[in-house]
Amino acid sequence: MDDSVKAYAYTLVATLAAISVSVALLRTLYPFGSISLLSLLPLFALIILGSYHVIVYRRRAVLNSIFTPNTSLRKFLKGRFSALAQSFVVAVIGLFFIAYKGLVAAPWELVLALASIATCSVVFSFMKSRLQTHIEPQYLYSVAANTTSIVVGTLFFFLYMYSMWSFEKFPSYYQNENLAMSLSMAMADLKQSSGYLAQIIEIVFAIDVIKSYAIIRSSNLLPIAPIVFVVYGAIFGFLQVKVIVSVITAITIFSGVTHTVRKE
């Protein structure tokens, strides 16, 4: 097997394994309370590392285009602390999104999630291999990650819009029951647990139920409401891609995988 094909395959399998195993462990351990958070720690570290690398080298590229190589100002403007803070925020938000969707996602959402992992892996590997003759090596990961996020994020934004419009199903009691009863019935279907994670999951799930209930009840009076709902949901598809790309970046850095360009 060609080395570049092996690199593509490794990136895809490693990313699928990192995310799928974490979500599977979370679903298994969730009924036992906050201990389920331990299943997300490796993924949390990968997201921080990938995001940090992209942010730091993007900032470094800007500094190199502005300042001379010998300036003493560089040491004050590296922005490592702010990059770490931004990476932490991305990791917390992204990981909660993955955890939440891993627990409550519809089948079509899981299919799209797997498709986005596969697409991100292939596009990132392709971008990295094609850009390495045009981009300085220290900026290659950052440029490949940003390009992949934009390209795949835009693609899946529209795929999520289409899928939500076509496949999203709401319980019949949203039409037949009042808000309190609908909320009670929906919460009864949610997997039960205890601890801080469960409390946050329940709050966000309740907000989702209220939002969906409002959309169903107002769609006749406000035709644009379902469109707003679909666009709102599709934004999370873009966020999902951003998180996946961070994981891929970290895995590629850790493993030292290279994607070579075949010479003609």
Q: Write the DSSP string, 201-227.
A: HHHHHHHHHHHHHHHHHHTTT-TTHHH
User: With contact defined as beta carbons under 8 Å apart, do 245 and 149 qualify?
Assistant: yes
Tally of structural domains, the chain: 1
Taking alpha carbons only, the member of 21, 84, 14, 23 closest to residue 49 is 84
Question: What is the pLDDT averaged over residues 114-141?
Answer: 85
Question: What is the pLDDT averaged over residues 30-58?
Answer: 87
Whether 261 is covered by a domain: the verdict is no
User: With contact defined as beta carbons under 8 Å apart, do 62 and 78 qualify?
Assistant: no
* Burial label, 137 (beta-carbon count in 10 A; 0-12, 13-18, 19+): exposed
Which pLDDT does position 78 carry in this prediction? 64
Highest mean pLDDT, choosing among 27-41, 62-76, 231-245: 27-41
Whether 264 is covered by a domain: the verdict is no
Which pLDDT does position 261 carry in this prediction? 44
CA 16 vs. chain centroid, Å, equals: 13
Which pLDDT does position 76 carry in this prediction? 62
pLDDT for 230 beyond 80:
no
* Burial label, 202 (beta-carbon count in 10 A; 0-12, 13-18, 19+): middle
Dihedral of alpha carbons 188, 194, 197, 203, sign: positive
Range of the domain at 144: 3-255
Question: What is the pLDDT averaged over residues 12-39?
Answer: 88
Helix 107-131 to helix 3-29 angle, to the nearest 10 degrees? 150
Which pLDDT does position 167 carry in this prediction? 81
Exposure letters 60-73 (e unless 16+ CB within 10 A, then b): bbeeeeeeeeeeee
Q: Tokens in use for 6? A: 């092996």
pLDDT for 228 beyond 80:
no
Which pLDDT does position 68 carry in this prediction? 65
User: How many other CB atoms sit within 10 Å of the CB of residue 37?
Assistant: 17
Whether 263 is covered by a domain: the verdict is no
Which pLDDT does position 258 carry in this prediction? 54
Question: What is the pLDDT averaged over residues 175-191?
Answer: 83
Percent of the residues in the chain that have a pLDDT greater than 70, as a whole number: 85
- Segment among 11-25, 61-75, 201-215 with least mean pLDDT: 61-75
Q: Tokens in use for 129? A: 């291999």
Whether 262 is covered by a domain: the verdict is no
Give the integer Cα–Cα distance in Å for 125 and 105. 28
Give the integer Cα–Cα distance in Å for 68 and 71. 6
pLDDT for 260 beyond 60:
no
Give the integer Cα–Cα distance in Å for 163 and 32. 33
In terms of phi and psi (left: phi > 0; alpha: psi -120 to 50; beta: otherwise), the region of 256 is left
Whether 177 is covered by a domain: the verdict is yes
Taking alpha carbons only, the member of 44, 3, 39 closest to residue 23 is 39
pLDDT for 195 beyond 70:
yes
Question: What is the pLDDT averaged over residues 138-147?
Answer: 85
Mean pLDDT of the chain: 81
- Could you tell me which residue, 222 or 141, shows the higher pLDDT? 141
Whether 201 is covered by a domain: the verdict is yes
User: With contact defined as beta carbons under 8 Å apart, do 19 and 95 qualify?
Assistant: no
